[in-house]
Amino acid sequence: MKNRIQDLTSIDFYQNRRQVKWLVVLVSVVIGVGSIWYTNRLVEELRERERRQIELLSSALEYASTTAENLTFINKEIIQQNYSIPIIMVDAELSPIEFRNIVFRKNSSKEDSTKTLLKELEEMKSEYEPISLTEADIKVYYSNSELLTNLKYYPYIQLGVILIFGVLAYTLFNQSKIAEQNRVWAGLTKETAHQLGTPIASLMAWIDYLRNSPVWEENKEIITEMDKDVVKLKMVTERFSSIGSKPMIQAENLFAVIEETITYLRPRISTKVEFEIKADARDLEAMMNKPLFEWVIENICKNAVDAMKGKGKLTIEILQDSDKFVVVDITDSGKGIEKKNFKKVFNPGYSTRQRGWGLGLTLAKRIIESYHGGRIFVRSSEPGIGTTFRIILHSTLEGAEQFVTEGILEY
């Protein structure tokens, strides 16, 4: 028993959340079907009981029609005790001669009451076979009592209320969970930025010291590259500091930003990867926070290099989609992505690498969609051929601000 509990607690429900959702749906369906089946069983039992009551009533009426003995008792204790089951007694010509528990409109005329009675009679004919009083040549029609009718629809109303409550509770819980994750995410990134600040400042001081030392001329190229890396670390710190707060969005030259990012990446990845940047025009501008957008390009490019196993071609194409939007397509010649995983690649923890954290594309999606009001998605992919990621950015500040306010990207 202890081992079973340990096995249960060791299940990663987040990684298997799709299966868990289907399990919850399956259990809900079983509960719903069971509830309906049980209620229908009660309805059938109650329906049978009401039929026996009508048969007893009919027998009493037939007995009363043949003898006057105990007629008062039958009328008082049997016939008059039916307070719930609607009945209509008709003669040989099917004309109503007596009825009980038929609801008429308040202050209705005799003509309206007759119409109501005949309408009820027609409905009764379609529900149950009448009970015949042979001796008196009378037929008794009846329908379900109000209790039986309510019980019949009760499980569906109950399931509807449960469903509405469940959807509402799930929505609130999900929003609360997302908000909590965002707070944890923002707190973690800001703390990371704070912790990186001190060693980066120290490294900058040491590089400045080396520039003014006798070793400068001999190690100029090495110290220059070290300085680039320290500057990059400083930029990474700024990026982490931007998470959780509203970043400054402004117009930037898209080609220049991407070219600068690729220039930094080239000497730090495999030399067998060929880069190509295409653009409809080199002066296209997009609304962005430059440090955060560079982070997105880096993450996608590094993932592409991993997918190509350090050898292949990476093409970045910049397109003017319309007056409102600018598009960036990043295409690699890697192993590709199966269509069923197009959305999964952006989920936290999803990674095809054994030592991957699965946060690069998640972070990219958050930056593009939450902070830039744009979109990022897998445009196309074929296993063994390659993958194209598409990024859509606003070309005007008005469009970006409207998205952040309304949460809608009109594309």
pLDDT class for 66, splitting at 50, 70, 90? Answer: low
Q: Which range has highest mean pLDDT (127-131, 316-320, 340-344)?
A: 316-320
For residues 148-171, give the mean pLDDT. Answer: 75
Query: With 60 as the cut, is the pLDDT of residue 79 above it?
Result: no
User: Which has the higher per-residue pLDDT, 273 or 88?
Assistant: 273
Half-sphere exposure of 35 (CA within 13 A, CB side): 16
Q: Where are the alpha helices (DSSP H) in 243-349?
A: 254-265, 290-307
Task: Copy the structure tokens of residue 313.
Answer: 């071609």
pLDDT class for 172, splitting at 50, 70, 90? Answer: confident
Q: What share of the chain in percent tops pLDDT 90?
A: 17
User: Which has the higher per-residue pLDDT, 154 or 223?
Assistant: 223
Report how far Cα 22 is from the mean position of its chain's Cα atoms: 13
Q: How far apart are CA 402 and CA 211, in angstroms?
A: 48
For residues 330-338, give the mean pLDDT. Answer: 92
Query: With 90 as the cut, is the pLDDT of residue 326 above it?
Result: yes
- pLDDT value for 1: 47
Q: C-alpha angle with apex 240: 195 to 337, nearest 5 degrees? A: 125
Contact (CB, 8 A) for 393 and 328: yes
Query: With 50 as the cut, is the pLDDT of residue 407 above it?
Result: no
Q: What does the pLDDT look like over 335-382, one tens digit per residue? A: 999 888 898 888 876 776 655 556 788 888 988 998 888 999 999 999
Q: What is the DSSP string of 49-62?
A: HHHHHHHHHHHHHH
- pLDDT value for 410: 43
Q: What share of the chain in percent tops pLDDT 70?
A: 76
Residue with tokens 């296993």: 383
pLDDT class for 399, splitting at 50, 70, 90? Answer: low
- pLDDT value for 402: 56
- Hey, which residues does 131 pair with through a beta bridge? 140
For residues 252-260, give the mean pLDDT. Answer: 94
Q: Which range has highest mean pLDDT (8-12, 27-31, 116-120, 193-197)?
A: 116-120
List phi, psi (to 5°) of 80.
Answer: -75, -10
User: Which has the higher per-residue pLDDT, 397 or 107?
Assistant: 107
